[in-house]
Structure 1
Amino acid sequence: MPAHASATEGPAGWAGVDRSRRLSLRYFNFFRLLLAGIFVGGGQSFGLGGEHPFAYEIASFGYLAAVLSLGFPDAVRRLGLERVILLLILADVLGLSVIMWASGGYRSGMPVLMMVVLAGTGLLAEGRMVLFFAALATLSVLLENAWRFAAGGQPGDFLQVGIFCTGFFGIAIVSRRLALRAQVNALLAAERGQALARQQAVNERIIRDMHDGVIVVGVDGRALQINPQAAMLLGVSRLEGRLLAEVDPVFEEALARGDGLGPRVLRLGPAGRLMRCRTVRSEAGGATGEILIYLTDFEDVERQMQQLKLAALGRLTASMAHEIRNPLSAVTQAAELLCEEKRADMQARLARIINDNAHRIERMIRDVLALGRREHAVPEALPLAAFAAEVIDARVLTDETERAVYALDIGAGFTLGIDRAHLHQILDNLLANARRYCSGQPGSVRLYAEPLAGGRVALHVADDGPGIDAATRSHLFEPFFTTHAKGTGLGLYIARELAEANDAELELHGEGPGADFVLTGRSRP
């Protein structure tokens, strides 16, 4: 019987047939076989075939023979699925009709079995064939009852028969609609499954080819998945299923931290390679689920950074040579004129030109030397309120009128993890720019701080000046760009470099009147 055939692989006749129809036909054939066996083996004990025993036996054995001959997969291969379904349902309707006639009419219960058969037909047949079989069952029941009425039956039997016939069509239509909906849902599920498989294949390819290493770690600290780049960075050939703590004890600390403290630069693996390690908990796993570890070759990053530094240093050197040439030319020319000039007032003016340009060159060299000190940052948790007050005191000395220009509004609890000398130079530069462009009224330069997420703090230096236009904003932090006649153009550039050396950021916020420079960093180093 077809029940012994595989549910997923069948003979050649099943090619192109969806799995749901195959399973439905197999289960339906089981029901037919069970029903035919009851008719043959014990039907008469249930009161079947009482009016015409010989006709009942012929119909029972014929129905059993039809089920056996058409139920094997070989019949589908020889005749095709649609023909087999058609012949089986015809055998159902004709066999049950003859048994009904031989067993006393609709009271034998055969119309109820016909309803079951029509319900199964809705799952198997295509298109209008379902209504055809419902009409065929209706016709057979009506003809049997008409024959019985002609032989002296009751007219009221037609009401019962009509109810059964109405049920035939109702069940056939409903079962067919359900089958169509099931097919649509199955097709949609298959399409989504294919789309998901394609997306998964793309994701796997991206993870396999990405430059960063990716490790998926289970709750027990074992590596569940790893891409080839991670294995290469760690210098191991096989990592799946192993405890990461066995590969390197540093992983145990990284896993315990989760994603609470951000990325760290660590030496990992047997080779002790310097890597940037970032751990993130899987959103699907929850607080106790899988952890994703991202590994970046920091040695490669440092090489790239070094190349960028060398390129920037080359541009900086060329720019410095050009910038220093102008004041040197002025110094040289003024010195030559000074030797020839006899008037005291002109000599004083030329000396002042020489002095101003010499100081300009000195400031430029001092600023460039500050770039070399960015690599030697020693961050500490500096109290912002007290430190900013010290910087302001150094600028104003004892001039109370000048002191009133600066409004300090920083809470006592704010701290910033940064190198002391670097923060002094950054603040001094920002305050000098703000004082240069502000109105000069009391409180025209404001210093205030605000807390940010992740233990970070933002220090604002804002003024009430005319602000910075869009064209200037795009070049604001470029070296040697300045809008001031006596400026070197290195102040903001060096201030941002020093901020980045301390894992901080210096940006210009807002687009309205006045400038608002914001230094953002961690409250602790």
Structure 2
Amino acid sequence: MINPLPQSGLWQPISGTPEATLSEQFWHSLFNFNVYRIMVVVVIILITWMVLDPVLGSHNPQLFFYAALIYLFCTGISMLLVLIRLPRFNWQIAIQICSDVMFITILVHFSGGILQSGLGLLLLASLAAAGLISRGKLLLFYASIASIGILLEESYTLLYVDGYHAQYLQAGLLSMGYFAVAWLAHALAKHTAASEQLALQRGIDLANMAEINQLVIQDMQDGVLVVNANGEIQQHNLHAEKLICLSPEFLVKGMLADQAPFLAERLETWRRDSNTNFDLLRIPVSNTLVHTRFVSVKGGSKASVVIFLEDMSHVQVQAQQLKLAALGRLTVNIAHEIRNPLSSISHASELLEEDSGIISTHFQLLRIIRDNTKRLNKIVQNILQLNQRDQATSELIQGDNFLRSFIEEFCYTEKIDIDVFSVAISGQHVVRFDGGHLNQVLWNLCNNAWRHCRKQHGSIQLILASESDDRIYLDVIDDGPGIDPGALNKLFEPFFTTVASGTGLGLYIAREMCEANSASLSYLEKPAGSHFRVICRGN
């Protein structure tokens, strides 16, 4: 597409003109041509006025000067018509070339002929400009008019000027020059028009290809980011925008390091070593687990890079479905093969305790049997709860009311002083979660916090706040000794526990229930105490 002229200075393009079929460049060229015409006439007038014995106008200086002034006035009118674009473009170029032929022929006559003044050469520039501006239209006609004008002037001078020697040879050579310039300008204009048409078609093809590429990119299930060598985001699709939560001001050429520093860090690592294998990345802003892949656009690590963000949530969903199916079968077997024998053992131990003939030393053994059957039964109950995680029913929960009710219920059930809890809630937050699942998650976290805290006023902190409009986090913090850094990698594994009386399923079940509600549970390291964070969806 041809760029319009600057909106400053003398030239002011007019939109919505009748000559809608002509491009802005044609009018700009015609404007420049008229500037040239005005400058030529002004120079001619200045030479006539300032030089004492000028060659120009030697035959009749006074009429030459008046003709030049009328010529300047006509070129000024032509400039005004170009600015208002009236009449049509083709009419304007025809009128201007014809006026150039007429006035230059008159100036040649008043200057004593072709050889003495040399003004006839000015028509060469006018014909060349007309050919380029009008793309060769009527160019041979303009050359014919110029040739006829020069020949008529030569004939008139020969007939009415005494002592004048005919210069038909020079007039013929000049006329041949007019046709030669016209032909060359026509060929150049034709080539230029073909080049412009080809460039226009190539531009359309490139625009169509770019649009097709954009449609393909937008339709991809993976997030796509194109980053140049300076770290600017050149292009992205909607999925990438959602994954890393691009701000509106970064939608066009934002810096990757400002918007997604975790990706910028990986990109720099990849540029240093393209064979680096990266682990899965959990994007903090969207809490999405992704697989990152970097591909250089031009084959070099310093060139533009395409970053593919493969959302692993669908893979997790498939894995979870397989796991739940297997877990469902496992829990059925546990219910029949373990729970029923446990009930028999527990019932038998109760009967033995009621037997008056049992000796006192056996009561200790019966207590061990009773405690271990309760522990095994609790493990079975926890495993059975995992089979219910796929039955999550999302509901809108008022965060502040839910926390207050939960704390009262937890303290009453566990027989804990309510002053142990310190609650901080910033604003009104509505959480999208299964109410039973959220209760169980908090119960497991608070139970662990109570077990390890100092059991003082405010030892357990509950913080409810928002990261963004649709992401809400709930923190459970205690003032206990914290978790050994060596155990962090196994913290959410099933049956991993640091307490002899624990089952090792509490945190595992809590995380599974969070994932069933499109939420996440993570542990945040801190110098003292433990800090668990649940990030869930808002309303």
- 2:136/2:185 contact within 8 Å kept: no
Q: Distance in 2 between matches of 1:268 and 1:123?
A: 59
Alpha-carbon offset, residue 205 of structure 1: 3.1
The C-alpha deviation readout for 1:260-298, integer Å capped at 9, x for no partner, is 2467533333454322211112217x3312222111111
The C-alpha deviation readout for 1:435-490, integer Å capped at 9, x for no partner, is xxxxxxxxxxxxxxxxxxxxxxxxxxxxxxxxxxxxxxxxxxxxxxxxxxxxxxxx
1:154 equivalent in alignment to 2:168:
no
1:30 equivalent in alignment to 2:35:
yes
Equivalent position to 1:64, from 56, 59, 72: 72
User: In the alignment, what sits opposite 1:98?
Assistant: 106
Q: Distance in 1 between matches of 2:154 and 2:223?
A: 79
Q: Distance in 2 between matches of 1:74 and 1:117?
A: 16
- 2:130/2:136 contact within 8 Å kept: no
Equivalent position to 2:294, from 251, 261, 279: 279
Alpha-carbon offset, residue 30 of structure 1: 0.5
* Superposed counterparts of 1:79-94, under 5 Å: 79-94=87-102
Equivalent position to 2:58, from 44, 50, 55: 50
Which 10-residue stretch deviates more, 275-284 or 237-246?
Answer: 237-246
- 1:11/1:73 contact within 8 Å kept: no
- 2:26/2:133 contact within 8 Å kept: yes
- 2:127/2:143 contact within 8 Å kept: yes
Equivalent position to 1:257, from 267, 270, 287: 270
Alpha-carbon offset, residue 220 of structure 1: 5.0
TM-aligned CA distance change 1:11 to 1:73, over 3 Å: farther
TM-aligned CA distance change 1:282 to 1:137, over 3 Å: same
Query: Cα RMSD (Å) of the superposition?
Result: 3.4
Q: Distance in 1 between matches of 2:262 and 2:172?
A: 82
Alpha-carbon offset, residue 219 of structure 1: 3.7
- 2:12/2:83 contact within 8 Å kept: no
TM-aligned CA distance change 1:136 to 1:220, over 3 Å: closer
User: Residue 276 of structure 1: SS of its match in structure 2?
Assistant: strand
TM-aligned CA distance change 1:76 to 1:172, over 3 Å: farther
User: In the alignment, what sits opposite 2:497?
Assistant: none
Alpha-carbon offset, residue 247 of structure 1: 4.1
Q: Distance in 1 between matches of 2:190 and 2:221?
A: 48
Alpha-carbon offset, residue 76 of structure 1: 5.7
Question: Scaled by the length of structure 1, what TM-score is found?
Answer: 0.52
The C-alpha deviation readout for 1:330-363, integer Å capped at 9, x for no partner, is xxxxxxxxxxxxxxxxxxxxxxxxxxxxxxxxxx
User: In the alignment, what sits opposite 2:122?
Assistant: 113
User: Residue 280 of structure 2: SS of its match in structure 1?
Assistant: strand
The residue type paired with residue 12 of structure 2 is S
- 2:41/2:72 contact within 8 Å kept: yes
TM-aligned CA distance change 1:95 to 1:296, over 3 Å: same
Q: Distance in 2 between matches of 1:235 and 1:218?
A: 20
The residue type paired with residue 210 of structure 1 is M
User: In the alignment, what sits opposite 2:201?
Assistant: 191
TM-aligned CA distance change 1:74 to 1:268, over 3 Å: closer
* Superposed counterparts of 1:6-405, under 5 Å: 6=12, 9-10=14-15, 12-43=17-48, 45=51, 46-73=54-81, 77-107=85-115, 108-125=117-134, 129-150=138-159, 151-155=162-166, 157-219=167-229, 221=231, 223-234=233-244, 237=247, 241-244=254-257, 247=260, 249=262, 252-258=265-271, 259-261=274-276, 264-283=279-298, 286-304=300-318
The C-alpha deviation readout for 1:127-150, integer Å capped at 9, x for no partner, is 662111111111121222233344
TM-aligned CA distance change 1:221 to 1:126, over 3 Å: closer
TM-aligned CA distance change 1:248 to 1:160, over 3 Å: closer
List, as ranges, runs of 4+ consecutive aligned residues in structure 1 with deviation greater than 6 Å.
308-312
- 1:118/1:168 contact within 8 Å kept: yes
The residue type paired with residue 53 of structure 1 is P
- 1:25/1:124 contact within 8 Å kept: yes
User: In the alignment, what sits opposite 1:4?
Assistant: 10
Q: Distance in 1 between matches of 2:45 and 2:219?
A: 67
User: Residue 275 of structure 2: SS of its match in structure 1?
Assistant: coil
Q: Distance in 1 between matches of 2:37 and 2:232?
A: 54
Q: Distance in 1 between matches of 2:286 and 2:157?
A: 96
User: What stretches of structure 1 of length at least 5 have no aligned partner?
Assistant: 313-525
The residue type paired with residue 55 of structure 1 is L
Alpha-carbon offset, residue 32 of structure 1: 0.9
Question: Scaled by the length of structure 2, what TM-score is found?
Answer: 0.51
Q: Distance in 1 between matches of 2:136 and 2:240?
A: 56
Alpha-carbon offset, residue 118 of structure 1: 1.2
TM-aligned CA distance change 1:21 to 1:276, over 3 Å: same
Alpha-carbon offset, residue 89 of structure 1: 0.9
Q: Distance in 2 between matches of 1:243 and 1:75?
A: 47
Which 10-residue stretch deviates more, 177-186 or 301-310?
Answer: 301-310
Q: Distance in 2 between matches of 1:256 and 1:75?
A: 58
TM-aligned CA distance change 1:67 to 1:294, over 3 Å: same
TM-aligned CA distance change 1:249 to 1:88, over 3 Å: closer
User: What stretches of structure 2 of length at least 5 have no aligned partner?
Assistant: 1-7, 327-539
Aligned length: 310
User: In the alignment, what sits opposite 1:403?
Assistant: none
The C-alpha deviation readout for 1:17-65, integer Å capped at 9, x for no partner, is 1233212211110111112222333325232111122331332122112
Q: Distance in 2 between matches of 1:124 and 1:247?
A: 52
TM-aligned CA distance change 1:69 to 1:210, over 3 Å: same
Q: Distance in 2 between matches of 1:138 and 1:40?
A: 25
Alpha-carbon offset, residue 77 of structure 1: 4.0
